[in-house]
Amino acid sequence: MSPTEISKPLPRILCVDDEPRVTDGIALQLRKDFEVHKAYSGKEALQRLREVSGIAVVLCDMRMPDMDGATLLERVRQLYPRITRILLTGEAGRDVAVQAVNRGQVFRYLTKPCAPEQLRQAIEAGIDQHRLMLAEKAVLQETLLGLIAALVDMLALTNPVAFGRSRRLQKLAMELARSLGHEDFWQLEAAAMLSQIGHISTPVELSEKIYYGVPLSGDDRLLAGAVDNVSLQLLERVPRLDVVMQVLQALGWSDESLARLGDGTIGTAARILGLVSEYDTLTLCGSAADRAVQVLRARSDRYGAQLIEQLARQIGVRSGQGEVREMPLKSVLPGMTILADVRTHLGTLLVPRGFEVTARFRDRIANFGAEVLEERVPVLVSGASS
């Protein structure tokens, strides 16, 4: 065995059973080939997953108090979709298997007693599956999300107000998702980034009216009504965006239709993105954060009270960080947030309020002209900015 093979870290697995003798026995069998972590309840298992990174496989018993195996694996699927899920149970009944497969979408279903070699082979296959899922994630991040970022950069050039809104929604939606335990939610990130892409052909003045709640004329209403069609025409040709398109379409569904989506990927993403979109609209139209949250609490039938209260907590954390400064536009740095609209002397919007400064934006502002660059603007400076 080479030195490289000796130093290679062991794959991590989590074994969950309310009987310590079972988890201890499995750990003893597998400890030479795997780094085994143990939990004795569903709640403890979820805590372990938050604390220990890189777990590839969850091996779980079916019968446990408070939270059974199918319920736990369903939660694992929602929060950590790339972790492979294996159910080990003494119940060989068909109903148990159906429940586990439908709710937890298990990779393997093993019955007790399970031979050590059979268990080892199932876990090794689960680790291979986990690696495939990670490889797929890398492809998505490097290709699909890269393509989406390029599309959104085009929006920055043609319609800065729409670009600014998409960036705000992306940041707020992902912060909210992470606070709920969704560490890797690329479908939501893609949907937030693309949520305003239909404005790529919309006049900036019309986008402003839409976002700021200005009444529209008849012609403006026709143009505004075409925004969603433009989005679909642009996105339907991009492969592997089916789920993202369903999330965007669900934003316009009724409360009852949205509720029927449940807590899966599409339903969760649509509720998070819809909630932060409504919050952004309220604040754009002049509502203070606390007033906006108060209005949103009346929408609990659509988004759920728990999600709204988590947003309220998230906003409270965000608003308590950093300080507001005033400085020339030319001096802003990546990570700062511009708190007022920046316009030309003719009133054309260059930068919408709430826009987070990026390195690319710093490169672009050289084209704004000396007068605009010298204009002093209020900015929110986070602890990481200088």
347-381 residue pLDDT tens: 878 887 767 788 888 888 888 888 999 999 988 88
For residue 342, the model assigns a pLDDT of 87
- Whether 343 and 282 map to the same domain: the answer is no
The Cα–Cα gap between 189 and 198 comes to 17
Other CB atoms within a 10 A radius of the CB of residue 329 amount to 19
The answer, yes or no, to whether residue 20 has pLDDT greater than 60, is yes
Domain boundary among 267, 302, 320: 320
Range of the domain at 328: 321-386
Other CB atoms within a 10 A radius of the CB of residue 159 amount to 25
- Whether 223 and 123 map to the same domain: the answer is no
- Whether 310 and 227 map to the same domain: the answer is yes
- Whether 193 and 218 map to the same domain: the answer is yes
Helix (H, G, I), strand (E, B) or coil at 226: coil
- Whether 182 and 294 map to the same domain: the answer is yes
What is the tens place of the pLDDT at every residue in 78-130? 888 889 999 888 765 556 666 666 565 788 888 878 888 899 999 999 999 99
Q: Residue 147 domain-assigned?
A: no
- Whether 194 and 68 map to the same domain: the answer is no
Other CB atoms within a 10 A radius of the CB of residue 361 amount to 18
Closest by CA position to 213, among listed 284, 296, 278: 284
- Whether 163 and 33 map to the same domain: the answer is no
- Specify which residues 338 forms β-bridges with: 355, 379
Q: Residue 140 domain-assigned?
A: no
What tokens appear for 22 in the block? 């079972």
- Specify the higher pLDDT residue, 317 or 251: 251
232 Cβ neighbours under 8 A, 6+ residues apart: 245
What is the tens place of the pLDDT at every residue in 38-93? 999 999 999 999 899 899 999 999 888 889 888 899 889 888 888 999 988 876 55
For residue 78, the model assigns a pLDDT of 83
Q: Residue 137 domain-assigned?
A: no
Q: Residue 144 domain-assigned?
A: no
Rounded alpha-carbon distances, angstroms, from residue 344 to 156, 328, 371, 373: 16, 15, 9, 10
Helix (H, G, I), strand (E, B) or coil at 283: helix
Q: Residue 109 domain-assigned?
A: yes
Q: Residue 141 domain-assigned?
A: no
Mean predicted confidence (pLDDT) in 168-178: 94
- Whether 358 and 305 map to the same domain: the answer is no
The Cα–Cα gap between 85 and 24 comes to 19
The CATH number of whichever domain residue 313 belongs to comes to: 1.10.3210.10
Task: Give the count of domains, the chain.
Answer: 3
For residue 273, the model assigns a pLDDT of 97
What tokens appear for 161 in the block? 């107000």
- Whether 89 and 228 map to the same domain: the answer is no
Mean predicted confidence (pLDDT) in 154-164: 88
- Whether 386 and 244 map to the same domain: the answer is no
Q: Residue 139 domain-assigned?
A: no
What tokens appear for 266 in the block? 């599409």
